[in-house]
Chains A and B, each alone.
Chain A
Amino acid sequence: MVTLSMKLPDVGEGVTEAELVEWHVKVGDVIREDDILAAVMTDKATVEIPSVHSGRITWMAGDIGDIIAVGSDLALIETDGPAAAETSPAAEPVAAETATEESSGPTAPEPVAASPGDAASPEPESLRALPVGTAPLASPAVRASARDRDIDLYRVRGSGPAGRISLADLDEAANGRQDYGSTPRRMQRQGETKVNIVGMRRKIAERMSIANSRIPHITVVEEIDATSMEELRAKLNAARGDKPKLTILPFVVAALTKAFVDHPEMNARFDDEAGVVTRFAPAHLGIATMTEAGLVVPVLRHAEALGLFDVASEIARLSDAARQGKATRDELTGSTFTITSLGPLGAIATTPIINHPEVAILGINKMAIRPMWDGSQFVPRRMMNISASFDHRVIDGWDAAVFVQRIKSLLESPALIFVED
């Protein structure tokens, strides 16, 4: 019986370390080759790590959120096979009893023999979590008085320390000076909860910090009359057959790729350390997507070469993949410009944060029918705002405004998008 070490494999080009985001096993589990041990996260992608050995897990490298270096021990697996060259020197053959204690810390593990089972160990009792119970705080005398006067203490506001109810509070309640009886007492909320920022959330936090601290943003909000676009969209959708339903995103994508022809400075990345802006001919558009784990940005490649329906189906496929955590590293990297849209939650205006190191981002706000003055009367129009942010270091306000006006005119007269210049 030997103990083999399972090392964190190379999970992507240039990746030297990865964050543990999920353990699929625990110490003592018996696994087979190719069973998934853990999931780790690199810059963008979550990668599942399959075991290369069969056997029993005796040690695991760390807790969720720990950073593991590529090539270091991820887990130790005790196997029945003959000794192999890979045997870790730190791990000695262990007794039949397997470890039940989780080792922590990155030091070389010593397998721990479990203490003999003790039937006398006390049963786990339910723990009381802070903040403390919701029972009204009052002395026995106050409780007795409330009982005698038929006052429900849950509806009395306590003025004392920690919200303690006094006899005076009871009097106030009884005399109607408190809003006693109308609503249950408003308990003061106590306590705080610490949430560890790990995994995807930590990545998002890091990237947002970089983007917002390094890029001086300028945000331009413009109003768009989307009535024509909506009419066209309705017609296309009515005749779409078994093609995917069009949202407004494919129109926005088409307008952007058209606008990039005259504004190559917007479809670019700024390496501020090297002092170089790289403008891209292809439009690889990042599509900000909300998933359970947080914000991810799958990339619509060569959007300039895709038709409206192709864009619709590709966006649907990418966002599904992102939500299920199946998006590949390639599908999550390489964008040159990013679109963010919250759909019906899109608000009137937003201040989008640029997807570093890109130089611009376009936010789509909520559409609504609003009365517009056509020169002689108010007419109902489908209005929608767009909020675009730009890296003010490399894009001047003038250029930003011109670009936004270009997008506006394309979306207001969508025929322009499809006319060859």
Chain B
Amino acid sequence: MRTDQCKLLIIGAGPGGYVCGIRAGRLGVDTIVVEAAKPGGTCLNIGCIPSKALIHAADEFARARAFADENELGIRSQDAKIDLARTIAWKDGIVDRLTAGVSGLLKKAKCRFLAGRATIIDGKTVDVTTADGLVRIRTETLVIATGSAPFELPMLPFGGNVISSTEALSLDAVPARLAVVGGGYIGLEIGTAMAKLGARVTIVEAADRILPQYDAELTKPVSARLAELGVSVHLSAKAIGIAPDDEALRVATPDGETTVQADKILVTVGRRPATQNFGLEDLSLRMNGDFIEIDDRCATSMRGVYAIGDVTGEPMLAHRAMAQGNMVAEIVAGERRSWDKRAMPAVCFTDPEIVVVGDLPDRVPGAKVTSFPFGANGRALTMERSDGLLRIVSDPNSELVLGIQAVGVGASELAGEFALAIEMAATLTDIADTIHAHPTLGETVQEAALKGLGRNLHI
């Protein structure tokens, strides 16, 4: 057995792990990142990036198809066709470019990358099974960044026609009929894309509405668009298994059991942290449910062992993992850091997109809530989309902005301003008195702030 040693060992090269590696390397910390698959983790390889590539392709295809018919823009084209295998190859090209980029960045930061499967021996020792054999690494500090995996339903185990998001993003043909179990953001994103690619999509959600963690005001435009796209949505419905002929999903609804014909059944009912089968249990870390318990420095209950990203709990978001990884690298390098983030943006790349930052209105009784419709925004209209709204939640006494949410076309690109406003402790006046370029969707932020101050202009 070969042996090696380092100051910082990171298990997992997802957004949390690789950012931690790059930052630590730049700070001169002798760092090794261990990864069993390609660098980039779920996000780059089978998550955020591939799904956005698919959504883009689906949007382009839907547009092209729309031009085959009479339309307001006066554009006509021939019948549109899609070769999904080629689309997927294009997507894989982007993923390869990005993962190669991560490898390059790690290298440039003088952070060593070790391809192989890690097994924790103790808090300072990790065995890595590589192509060249077993390597035992001694480290001063250990960071667990192993991420999460799709949650599997016992009555719908993955395999055959039952697929997770991973397989759904690598299909070589559009399924004629797709059933999606779980109306959360992953199911809705992939389900919407598949519908635009021509699949007949049915969504089965156990709660009484889609995206149940958000309020109805935000989800209504998405529901409306799903209906336009011909996606059927079963609410208060539970998937209970596969029909014997393997071609349908059995669903329990309030009105009794029914079946949904499906060539593929996509199960997106959440993700569970990857905390098993690599020796983590032997550390007996204090847990918080299924997650590893951490303090405000991402330290676990064992000295010298940190955890970042999805293994540390909700929200399971790449940018949260990145910020945690960055912070832990600086802590390991001897800097004083603790988690003091105020804003955690969350984006659903549904149609239209939903962005949520800070407090939702129903979380802060007594807060001032002002909204501005996308239908009153010139830029939105030139994009042929008037559905959606932007909403600011603020403290009526101090004007302090507590939350900003939006649902609308292109809303995801506004997430940065929302988060900046809350992180900077902006007030309504700060936003209202900042010139927002015309004509842009961002004007809706300024307009909502103006409205909150009683200085409405375009509404």
- Judging by beta carbons under 8 Å apart, are A138 and B208 in contact? no
The stretch of A159-167, A205-213, A240-248, A347-355 that contacts the partner chain: A159-167
Asked if B342 is at the interface (CB within 8 A of a chain A CB), the reply is yes
Asked if B423 is at the interface (CB within 8 A of a chain A CB), the reply is yes
- 21 CB contacts below 8 A, A to B, read A120-B208, A120-B236, A121-B207, A122-B212, A122-B213, A127-B365, A128-B364, A129-B364, A130-B364, A130-B395, A132-B398, A135-B342, A137-B400, A139-B423, A161-B430, A162-B425, A164-B425, A190-B395, A190-B397, A190-B398, A191-B366
- Judging by beta carbons under 8 Å apart, are B207 and A132 in contact? no
- Judging by beta carbons under 8 Å apart, are A162 and B206 in contact? no
Closest A residue to B340 using CB positions:
A143
| Minimal beta-carbon separation of B351 from chain A (angstroms) | 24
Bound-state CA distance A147–B330 (Å) is: 13
- The A/B interface has a contact count, at CB < 8 Å, of 74
Given contacts A130-B397, A140-B423, 4 further A-B contacts (CB under 8 A): A120-B236, A147-B337, A163-B398, A164-B425
In the complex, per-residue mask of B388-399: 1 if CB is within 8 Å of any chain A CB, else 0: 000000011111
- The residues of B that contact A161 with a CB separation of less than 8 Å are 398-399, 427, 429-430
- The residues of A that contact B399 with a CB separation of less than 8 Å are 161-162
Bound-state CA distance A368–B30 (Å) is: 78
- Judging by beta carbons under 8 Å apart, are A129 and B424 in contact? no
Bound-state CA distance A128–B366 (Å) is: 10
- The residues of B that contact A131 with a CB separation of less than 8 Å are 395, 397-398
| Minimal beta-carbon separation of B270 from chain A (angstroms) | 13
Bound-state CA distance A204–B398 (Å) is: 35
Which residue of B340, B366, B427 is within 8 Å of A162 (Cβ)?
B427
- Judging by beta carbons under 8 Å apart, are B206 and A119 in contact? yes
- Judging by beta carbons under 8 Å apart, are B427 and A132 in contact? no
Which residue of A120, A127, A135, A140 is within 8 Å of B212 (Cβ)?
A120
Bound-state CA distance A118–B207 (Å) is: 8
| Minimal beta-carbon separation of A121 from chain B (angstroms) | 7
Asked whether A128 and B359 contact (CB < 8 A) given A137-B400, A143-B340, A190-B395, the answer is yes
- The residues of B that contact A140 with a CB separation of less than 8 Å are 423-424
Closest A residue to B425 using CB positions:
A137
Q: Which of A116, A119, A138, A140 is most buried by chain B, counting CB atoms within 10 A of its CB? A: A140
Closest A residue to B399 using CB positions:
A162
B-contacting residues, A101-156, CB 8 Å: 116, 118-122, 125, 127-132, 135, 137-140, 143, 147
In the complex, per-residue mask of B157-180: 1 if CB is within 8 Å of any chain A CB, else 0: 000000000000000000000000
Closest B residue to A140 using CB positions:
B423
In the complex, per-residue mask of B39-55: 1 if CB is within 8 Å of any chain A CB, else 0: 00000000000000000
Which residue of A118, A125, A147 is within 8 Å of B236 (Cβ)?
A118
Closest A residue to B368 using CB positions:
A130
- Judging by beta carbons under 8 Å apart, are A120 and B395 in contact? no
In the complex, per-residue mask of A163-205: 1 if CB is within 8 Å of any chain B CB, else 0: 1100000000000000000000000001110000000000000
| Minimal beta-carbon separation of A120 from chain B (angstroms) | 4
Bound-state CA distance A21–B402 (Å) is: 37
Closest B residue to A143 using CB positions:
B340
Which residue of B208, B336, B397, B402 is within 8 Å of A191 (Cβ)?
B397
B-contacting residues, A61-82, CB 8 Å: none
Bound-state CA distance A116–B237 (Å) is: 13
- Judging by beta carbons under 8 Å apart, are B430 and A132 in contact? no
- The residues of B that contact A135 with a CB separation of less than 8 Å are 342
- The residues of A that contact B2 with a CB separation of less than 8 Å are none
- Judging by beta carbons under 8 Å apart, are B363 and A128 in contact? yes
Closest A residue to B237 using CB positions:
A120
Asked if B416 is at the interface (CB within 8 A of a chain A CB), the reply is no
| Minimal beta-carbon separation of A413 from chain B (angstroms) | 59
- The residues of B that contact A139 with a CB separation of less than 8 Å are 423-425
In the complex, per-residue mask of B106-135: 1 if CB is within 8 Å of any chain A CB, else 0: 000000000000000000000000000000
A-contacting residues, B338-397, CB 8 Å: 340, 342, 359, 362-367, 395-397
Tally A residues with Cβ within 8 Å of B.
28
| Minimal beta-carbon separation of A240 from chain B (angstroms) | 56
Asked if B74 is at the interface (CB within 8 A of a chain A CB), the reply is no
Bound-state CA distance A137–B206 (Å) is: 40
Closest A residue to B209 using CB positions:
A120
Bound-state CA distance A147–B297 (Å) is: 14
Asked if B254 is at the interface (CB within 8 A of a chain A CB), the reply is yes
- Judging by beta carbons under 8 Å apart, are A162 and B208 in contact? no
- Judging by beta carbons under 8 Å apart, are A162 and B364 in contact? no
- The residues of B that contact A121 with a CB separation of less than 8 Å are 207-208
Bound-state CA distance A129–B397 (Å) is: 13
- Judging by beta carbons under 8 Å apart, are A132 and B212 in contact? no
Closest B residue to A137 using CB positions:
B425
| Minimal beta-carbon separation of B436 from chain A (angstroms) | 19
Bound-state CA distance A221–B316 (Å) is: 72
Bound-state CA distance A357–B402 (Å) is: 53
Bound-state CA distance A129–B363 (Å) is: 8
- Judging by beta carbons under 8 Å apart, are A132 and B206 in contact? no
Closest B residue to A141 using CB positions:
B424
In the complex, per-residue mask of B223-260: 1 if CB is within 8 Å of any chain A CB, else 0: 00000000000001000000000000000001000000
- Judging by beta carbons under 8 Å apart, are B400 and A132 in contact? yes
Closest A residue to B341 using CB positions:
A140
- The residues of B that contact A119 with a CB separation of less than 8 Å are 206
Closest B residue to A164 using CB positions:
B425
Bound-state CA distance A126–B431 (Å) is: 29
- The residues of A that contact B212 with a CB separation of less than 8 Å are 120, 122
Bound-state CA distance A33–B430 (Å) is: 63
| Minimal beta-carbon separation of A119 from chain B (angstroms) | 7
- The residues of B that contact A143 with a CB separation of less than 8 Å are 340
Closest A residue to B336 using CB positions:
A147
- The residues of A that contact B396 with a CB separation of less than 8 Å are 130
Closest B residue to A189 using CB positions:
B397
| Minimal beta-carbon separation of B418 from chain A (angstroms) | 15
Which residue of B213, B336, B402, B423 is within 8 Å of A132 (Cβ)?
B402
- The residues of B that contact A127 with a CB separation of less than 8 Å are 362-365
Bound-state CA distance A190–B398 (Å) is: 7
Which residue of A120, A130, A163 is within 8 Å of B366 (Cβ)?
A130
Closest B residue to A132 using CB positions:
B395
| Minimal beta-carbon separation of A124 from chain B (angstroms) | 11
- The residues of A that contact B423 with a CB separation of less than 8 Å are 139-140
Bound-state CA distance A131–B367 (Å) is: 9
- The residues of B that contact A137 with a CB separation of less than 8 Å are 400, 425
Asked whether A129 and B213 contact (CB < 8 A) given A118-B236, A162-B425, A190-B398, the answer is no
- Judging by beta carbons under 8 Å apart, are A122 and B397 in contact? no
- Judging by beta carbons under 8 Å apart, are A125 and B363 in contact? yes
Bound-state CA distance A416–B337 (Å) is: 81
- The residues of B that contact A130 with a CB separation of less than 8 Å are 364-367, 395-397
- Judging by beta carbons under 8 Å apart, are A122 and B366 in contact? no
| Minimal beta-carbon separation of B446 from chain A (angstroms) | 17
- Judging by beta carbons under 8 Å apart, are A129 and B366 in contact? yes
- Judging by beta carbons under 8 Å apart, are B397 and A138 in contact? no
Bound-state CA distance A363–B427 (Å) is: 51
- Judging by beta carbons under 8 Å apart, are A116 and B254 in contact? yes
- The residues of B that contact A190 with a CB separation of less than 8 Å are 395, 397-398
